[in-house]
Chains A and B, each alone.
Chain A
Amino acid sequence: MSYIQIRNLWKEYADQVVLERINARVNKGDFITIVGASGCGKTTFLKMLLGTESPSRGAILLEDAPIPDEPSQQRGIVFQRYSVFPHLTVLKNVMLARELEHSPLLGKLFGSARRTAKQEALAMLEKVGLTAAIKKYPHELSGGMQQRLAIAQSLIRKPAILLLDEPFGALDPGIRADMHKLVLELWKQHQLTIFMITHDLKEGFLLGTRLWVFDKPRHDPQAPGAFGARITYDIPVGQSDRSLYQKIDQQLQVTQELTMEGNAA
């Protein structure tokens, strides 16, 4: 039995089909990177996994039950931006999850419980390499440090599924490579199931265990919203070659141009 099943999933807004007939099975521990032209419903799909959007048709099943339709501690998330709390220092950003867990009324811990939470947060911050910055506020951190903080903050609550929405899109290539290493390490260590959206196809070929390509196989130039995107490729990472990369890259570019033309018309 699969961990996550996606059954005939559709998402439509008014006259626009965003996703159509998505079917997939995901095993525990899969690391799926999702690529696709912009406007192909990648983020919408992630939001449905997160529970902030609901499917128009079909369902996402998590261990055979419909996935909860609001965010929960089962599914951690790192957005491209705004993922950390600007009013808390680095240390407190990470401690927050523990405080919320153990103090339902005040959301704050004191005494020995606080010390335990602090130790745990410090250990997590060490893993992501932020030990030197624990007293800083997020606005004092670079983009890469903020994203590492966001990851640490998500992982301390030990989610089963980690959702990453272009987490490294705004980072420099050098820092991106460091972050890839970090994510792969944490994925193995915490036995996570990861869905990561990226618009960098190279990143998709490099990270994780599976690559999904979201693309629109059909286009109607008169009605750009008539057909939605589907999963056009589901490839095991590491077994693909250069020609496949180029083929997918080409197709995504075609879709991108068609979408732009559609929007312009």
Chain B
Amino acid sequence: MKKIINLQPHNGTRWLLALLPFLLLLLLYVAASNARLADNPGDKLLPAMGSFADAIQRMAFEPDKRSGDYLLWVDTGSSLIRLGLGVGISALAGLAFGILNGAIPFARAPLSPLVTFLSLIPPMAILPILFIIFGMDELAKVMLIIIGITPALIRDMQQRVLEIPAEQLIKAQTLGASSWQIILRVVLPQILPRLLASVRLALGSAWLFLIAAEAIASTDGLGYRIFLVRRYLAMDVILPYVIWITLLAFFIDYGLKKISQWSFPWFHSQTGDGGKS
């Protein structure tokens, strides 16, 4: 018998083992739900699978009685636009200021302490200020995401730029590169895959800020819907929405990883995360 640290599951076994906890959770849920519903058929806390199917049918495939919209898709569209704008703008700002701070000491001296300070402000604490300044519409929600994740992205990018070996910057200079050319041809291309990696990590916080902002002031969006139907204890809507959000987050993360592997093969073979997840 080999030691357990040397035992590797084969491919099929690996899949089976990965699915197992999900199946167990599902079984546990169904058992608990059945037990509660047997006690009280009107129980709303753990709805039966059939109620989920009805709710999904109602939210995704039937027009809303009042507005005529297909609510799930309208909510998804609004949320994804906010998330995309917020994360996209943050990524660009993180890249620009990160490179500026990392590559140019005279930019780093005044900006780096400021960014560190800003990154320590809890974004949720200034949400009221955002609503006061930017009003209750789209801008405030996108701003919350930006304020929430940009400082950390800038700090991370700055650190990554500083980690580029000095030998490379010197080498580029001996090849006649100007500061601008070094940023463009040596720093930027090496930072892009690191930006994607940081954005993948920042997406968790971005979702948090998005849902928080939607819950407080919005008329559509995934977060808005969850907090709206909470009033009716509509677990049959809330749980599918949560799973849907999780799936969206998973596919965005997976997509970014694939884009990175495809665009920056040299980076992924260096860090050794070529194919594995």
A105 shortest CB reach to chain B, Å: 8
B273 located at the interface, meaning its Cβ lies under 8 Å from any Cβ of chain A in the complex: no
- Which residues of chain A in 122-162 are interfacial with respect to chain B, using CB atoms and an 8 Å cutoff? 137-140, 150, 153-154, 157, 159
With A85-B168, A85-B186, A100-B181 as known contacts, state yes or no: A71 contacts B173, CB within 8 Å. Answer: yes
Contact between chains at A83 and B167 (CB < 8 Å): yes
What residues of A have a CB within 8 angstroms of the CB of B172 in the complex?
Answer: 85, 96, 100
Q: How distant is A18 from chain B, measured CB to nearest CB, in Å? A: 19
A82 to B190, CA, bound (A): 14
User: Which of A28-36, A73-81, A241-249 has 4 or more CB atoms under 8 Å from chain B?
Assistant: A73-81
Q: Is the CB of B168 within 8 A of A157?
A: no
Interface bin, chain A: 35 or more
Residue in chain B with minimal CB distance to A100: B177
Q: Are B174 and A157 in contact (CB under 8 A)?
A: yes
In the complex, chain A residues whose CB is within 8 Å of the CB of B266: 86-87, 137-139
Whether A101 lies near B176 (C-beta < 8 A) is yes
With an 8 A cutoff between CB atoms, is A70 at the interface?
Answer: yes
A50 interface residue per 8 A CB criterion = yes
Interface contact B176-A72, CB-CB below 8 Å: yes
Decide: A86 and B176 in contact? CB cutoff 8 A. no
Partner of B185, one of A84, A86, A107, A150: A107
Contact between chains at B265 and A137 (CB < 8 Å): yes
Task: Decide: A87 and B171 in contact? CB cutoff 8 A.
Answer: no
Q: Please pick, from A77, A81, A84, A159, the residue contacting B170 in the complex, using a CB distance under 8 A.
A: A77
Minimum CB–CB distance from B271 to chain A (whole Å) comes to 10
Enumerate chain B residues within 8 angstroms of A70, measured Cβ to Cβ. 173
Asked whether A106 is an interface residue with its Cβ less than 8 Å from the other chain, the reply is yes
Chain B interface size band reads 20 to 34
Q: Which of B175, B181, B185, B267 has the most CB of A within 10 A?
A: B175
CB < 8 Å: which of B167, B173, B265 contacts A79? B167
B270 within 8 A of partner (CB) = yes
| Any B CB within 8 A of the CB of A52 | yes
* CB neighbors of B among A23-58 (8 A): 50, 52
Chain B min CB distance to A196 (Å): 16
* Docked CA distance A150–B174 (Å): 12
Chain B residues with Cβ below 8 Å from A140 are 269
B170 touches A50 (CB 8 A): yes
Q: Tell me the residues in window 235-277 of chain B with beta carbons closer than 8 Å to chain A beta carbons.
A: 264-267, 269-270
Instruction: Pick the most buried of B171, B174, B177: most chain A CB atoms within 10 A of its CB.
Output: B174
Point out the residues of chain B lying under 8 angstroms from A159, CB to CB.
174
Query: Are B185 and A100 in contact, with the CB atoms below 8 A?
Result: yes
Taking chain A's interface residues, is the majority helix, strand, or loop, or is none over half, making it mixed?
Answer: loop
Docked-complex contact A139 and B269, CB < 8 angstroms:
yes
B177 near A107 (CB under 8 angstroms)? yes
Residue A173 at the chain B interface, CB threshold 8 Å:
no
A-contact bits for B166-199, CB 8 A (1 contact / 0 none) = 0110111111111011001110011000000000
Q: How far is the CA of A154 from the CA of B172 in the complex (A)?
A: 9
Q: Please give, as numbers and ranges, the residues of chain A lying within 8 Å of B122 by CB-CB distance.
A: none
Residues of chain A within 8 A (CB-CB) of B12 are none
Q: Does B21 contact A (CB under 8 A)?
A: no
CA distance A96 to B177 in the complex (A): 9
A87:B189 contact, CB within 8 angstroms = yes
Whether the pair A87, B264 counts as a contact (CB closer than 8 A) is yes
Across the interface, name the chain B residue whose C-beta is closest to A106: B184
How many angstroms between the C-alpha atoms of A75 and B264 in the bound complex?
31
Of the candidates A75, A81, A101, A139, which one forms a contact with B174 in the assembled complex, judged by CB atoms under 8 Å apart? A75
> Among the interface residues B165, B173, B190, which one has the most CB atoms of the partner chain A within 10 A?
B173
Contact between A153 and B175, CB atoms less than 8 A apart = yes
Q: Is A111 an interface residue (CB 8 A)?
A: no
Indicate if the CB atoms of B170 and A71 lie closer than 8 Å: yes
Query: Is A91 part of the binding interface, using a Cβ–Cβ cutoff of 8 Å?
Result: no
A197 proximity list for chain B (CB < 8 A): none
Chain A residues with Cβ below 8 Å from B165 are 81-82
Task: Give complex CA distance A157, B181 in Å.
Answer: 16
B185 touches A96 (CB 8 A): yes
With both beta carbons as reference points, the residue of chain B lying nearest to A97 in the complex is identified as: B175
Q: Is A174 close to B, CB under 8 A? A: no
In angstroms, Cα B166 to Cα A71, docked, is 12
Residues on the B chain within 8 Å of A81, using CB: 165, 167
Q: What residues on A are CB-neighbors of B174 within 8 Å? A: 50, 71-73, 75-77, 154, 157, 159
Instruction: Tell me the complex Cα distance, A43–B232, Å.
Output: 74
Q: Which 5 A-B pairs have the closest CB atoms?
A: A71-B173, A73-B176, A82-B167, A82-B165, A97-B175
Residues of A within 8 A of B (CB): 50, 52, 70-73, 75-77, 79, 81-87, 96-97, 99-101, 104-108, 137-140, 150, 153-154, 157, 159
19 pairs of residues in contact across A and B, judged by CB atoms under 8 Å: A50-B170, A52-B170, A70-B173, A71-B170, A71-B174, A79-B167, A83-B171, A85-B171, A99-B185, A100-B181, A100-B185, A104-B180, A107-B185, A137-B265, A137-B269, A139-B269, A139-B270, A140-B269, A159-B174
